[in-house]
C-alpha cells in the first residue's frame, strides 16, 4: 500500500509528490552511473565500491557547497535545469584543486512545496554536472518545508568525494619565482557574487529577458544563469602529463582570495590587467554598478574560472594539453618573490 497521510498533507507536506519526483528523476540519475555505483535511489545510503588499483596510498578528498543567491535568478526566470550544474561544479572544481578525481555526488534540495516536475528539472542539471565531471549521483534528499521556504522557492546544496594517490596530491612545495600561472576561462559569473549582482541590476524589477547589445544579444538573465564551467576532465588530463605546482578555483573573493590559496609564503603572482580576458558581463556589472576595479577582482572571477601554476618550461605543453581538451587556456601571470600574494598592474 502506498504511504499517505491526510494529516501531513493538511500541514502542507505532500509525500506522494515526493514519490512522483523520484520517479521523474530516475532517468536523469541513471546516466551518471559509473562502475563503482552500487545503489538504487530510494535507499537510506548511497553505496560506492572503491577501486584503488594502482594506488599506493589512496586519499579521499571531499567538498561541499551550494548555489547561493544565484537561485533567485532561477526563480525569476523560472528556469531550473541548469542550477544543478552549478551545484556540482562548486564541489568538484574544489576537489580537483588537490588533484582528486571525483567519485560520487549527493544533493540536497529543500523547498517550500514539492512540485515534482521542478524537482526533476533541478536534478537533471545535477545529473548533467555529474556526467561532465565523471561522478556518479548516488543519492540525495528532497525536503518539503512549508512555512520555512516560500512555495515557489528552494535551496540547493551538494557534497562530493574524490580520490587521489597521496604521492600525486598537488603540492606547491617546489613553486619558485619564474613559474607561470595559466588561466582557464570561465563561462560567466559562475555561482559567486550574486548578492552584489542582484543589487547592481535590481533583478527583481529588471527585464531579465530583453537582449543586451553589450552581451552579444543575450539577455541579462540568460548571461547570469549560464552554468558554472566544470574543469575536472581537462585538469585530470593535464595532471597525467605535467607537474602542476598549484591549482586555484576562482570563486567568491575573486583573484585576491583564491589565487593565494595555492601559493606558498614568500611568493606571489604578478598579473598584467591587460592580459586578463575579462568577459563582457563583468564590464557591464562594473559600469552599471560603478564598481572599482579592485572590488571587481576581489569579488568575481572576471573571466578566469581556474588558475594553474607550472614551471615556465612546462607551460607550452600544459597549454597544448588544456587546449586539446577544450580549454582556451592562456598565460595570465608570473610567480614572483613577494609579500603581496596577488599583484595586478
Contacts of 127 (CB under 8 A, 6+ apart): 25, 28, 29, 31, 32, 84, 137
| Per-residue pLDDT of the chain in tens (345 residues, 90 and over written 9) | 466 667 667 767 777 777 788 888 888 989 999 998 987 766 788 899 999 999 999 999 999 999 999 999 999 999 999 999 999 999 999 999 999 999 999 999 999 999 999 999 999 999 999 999 999 999 999 999 999 999 999 999 999 999 999 999 999 999 999 999 999 999 999 999 999 999 999 999 999 999 999 999 999 999 999 999 999 999 999 999 999 999 999 999 999 999 999 999 999 999 999 999 999 999 999 999 999 999 999 999 999 999 999 999 999 999 999 999 999 999 999 999 999 999 999
> How far apart (Å, rounded) are the C-alpha atoms in residues 264 and 266?
6
pLDDT value at residue 73: 97
pLDDT value at position 4?
66
Q: What pTM was estimated for this model as a whole?
A: 0.94
For residues 29 and 123, is the Cβ–Cβ distance under 8 A? Answer: yes
CA angle 277, 257, 199 (to 5 degrees): 75
Other C-beta atoms within 10 Å of 170: how many? 20
Task: Return the DSSP state at 260.
Answer: G
The pLDDT value recorded for residue 8 is 63
Angle between helices 194-201 and 280-289 (to 10 degrees): 60
Residue 61 β-bridge partners: 162
End-to-end CA distance of the chain: 69
Amino acid at each position: 500500500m502506498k504511504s499517505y497521510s491526510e494529516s501531513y498533507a493538511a500541514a502542507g507536506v505532500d509525500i506522494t509528490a515526493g514519490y512522483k519526483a523520484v520517479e521523474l528523476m530516475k532517468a536523469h540519475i541513471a546516466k551518471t552511473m559509473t562502475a563503482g555505483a552500487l545503489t538504487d535511489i530510494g535507499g537510506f545510503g548511497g553505496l560506492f565500491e572503491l577501486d584503488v588499483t594502482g594506488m599506493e596510498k589512496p586519499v579521499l578528498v571531499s567538498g561541499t557547497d551550494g548555489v547561493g543567491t544565484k537561485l533567485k535568478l532561477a526563480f525569476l526566470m523560472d528556469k531550473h535545469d541548469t542550477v544543478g550544474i552549478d551545484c556540482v561544479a562548486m564541489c568538484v572544481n574544489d576537489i580537483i584543486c588537490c588533484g582528486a578525481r571525483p567519485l560520487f555526488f549527493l544533493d540536497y534540495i529543500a523547498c517550500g512545496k514539492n512540485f515534482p516536475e521542478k524537482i526533476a528539472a533541478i536534478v537533471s542539471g545535477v545529473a548533467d554536472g555529474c556526467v561532465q565531471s565523471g561522478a556518479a549521483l548516488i543519492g540525495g534528499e528532497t525536503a518539503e518545508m512549508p512555512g520555512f521556504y516560500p512555495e515557489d522557492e528552494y535551496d540547493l546544496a551538494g557534497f562530493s568525494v574524490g580520490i587521489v594517490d597521496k604521492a600525486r596530491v598537488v603540492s606547491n612545495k617546489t613553486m619558485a619565482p619564474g613559474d607561470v600561472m595559466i588561466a582557464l576561462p570561465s563561462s560567466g559569473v559562475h555561482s559567486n557574487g550574486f548578492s552584489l549582482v542582484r543589487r547592481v541590476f535590481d533583478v527583481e524589477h529588471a527585464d531579465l529577458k530583453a537582449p543586451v547589445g553589450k552581451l552579444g544579444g543575450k539577455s541579462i538573465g540568460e548571461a547570469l544563469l549560464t552554468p558554472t564551467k566544470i574543469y575536472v576532465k581537462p585538469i585530470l588530463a593535464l595532471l597525467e602529463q605535467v607537474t602542476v605546482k598549484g591549482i586555484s578555483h576562482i570563486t567568491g573573493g575573486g583573484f585576491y582570495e583564491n589565487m593565494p590559496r595555492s601559493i606558498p609564503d614568500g611568493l606571489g603572482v604578478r598579473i598584467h590587467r591587460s592580459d586578463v580576458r575579462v568577459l563582457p558581463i563583468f564590464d557591464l556589472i562594473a559600469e552599471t554598478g560603478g564598481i572599482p576595479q579592485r572590488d571587481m577582482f576581489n569579488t568575481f572571477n572576471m573571466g578566469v574560472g581556474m588558475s594553474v601554476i607550472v614551471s615556465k618550461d612546462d607551460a607550452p605543453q600544459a597549454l597544448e594539453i588544456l587546449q586539446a581538451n577544450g580549454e582556451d587556456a592562456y598565460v595570465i601571470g608570473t610567480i614572483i618573490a613577494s609579500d603581496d600574494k596577488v599583484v595586478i598592474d
